[in-house]
Structure formats: structure tokens, C-alpha cells
Amino acid sequence: MTQLSGVELRMAADPTQLSIVRAVAADIAMRQDFDLDSIEDLKLAVDETCSTLITLAADDAVLSCHFAVDGAGAVRVAAKVSAKSAAGPDEGSFGWRVLTALVDSVRTEVEETEGFVVHIDLVKSSAGAVDA
């Protein structure tokens, strides 16, 4: 996401901060008229994303989480953290499977600049994405 729209949170990469990120995700989803199940899905997905990044974080790292709404009303989340190593998320883990089931798309990348930065980007549309 290159545009400066939306909301960005920067906080210590610490599990005690997760409730703040979940609250912001829920508020943004509510403002987009997501149904209750989709709001909960987004909250869980953001929680899992940030928890995953926290486990990979370097000492004293800052977790950054950017929320934006695209033209179709989907919520896009771009989260990143400075990491201890080039190892990205374990895409075979149960948590990763849960994450990918909750959202429309997930993308991860490890950027090697001055150290390592792990990115996880996700997109969640309102309940219309799966027709019953």
C-alpha cells in the first residue's frame, strides 16, 4: 500500500498490544457495514497476523499495522516487523491455516535491508465474498 490513506498503528511487538489492533480492525470493519461474522473473522485474522509477527520479531522491535479500505469496500491490512532472521511465517502451521481461511487473500514477504523485515498483507471483504 503506497497511499497514505487509512490508519496506521505502531507499537511494541508485544502480545499485550493485540487488543488495540483487534479493536481498530473491528471498528474499521463496522464502518464498512461488515456483518458480525465478518467482523469477527477480520479481528481473528489480524490477531493471528500480529501474533505471528511478534513471534518473529527482533528484540525491541516495533510492530506496524496499516489498515485501508479499497474501492470495493474490502479492508486491506499490511503488517510488518523487524525480525530476528530471514525466516518468514510457518505457512504449514495451524495458525497460518486459520488465517488463510478467514480472509480473501494473504501475502507474505521477507525484506532484507538493514536486517530483516517480515511483511504479512491480507484482504478481507464483507460477507458477500462467499455466496451460499
Counting residues of the chain whose pLDDT is more than 70, the rounded percentage is 92
Check if the beta carbon of residue 29 is closer than 8 Å to that of residue 73: no
CA distance linking residue 78 with residue 99, whole number of Å: 14
8: enclosing H helix or E strand: strand 7-12
pLDDT interval class at 63 (50, 70, 90): very high
Residue with cell 511494541: 12
Sheet holding 75-83, edge to edge: 7-12, 62-69, 75-83, 115-124, 105-113
Position 127 scores a pLDDT of 63
Position 126 scores a pLDDT of 83
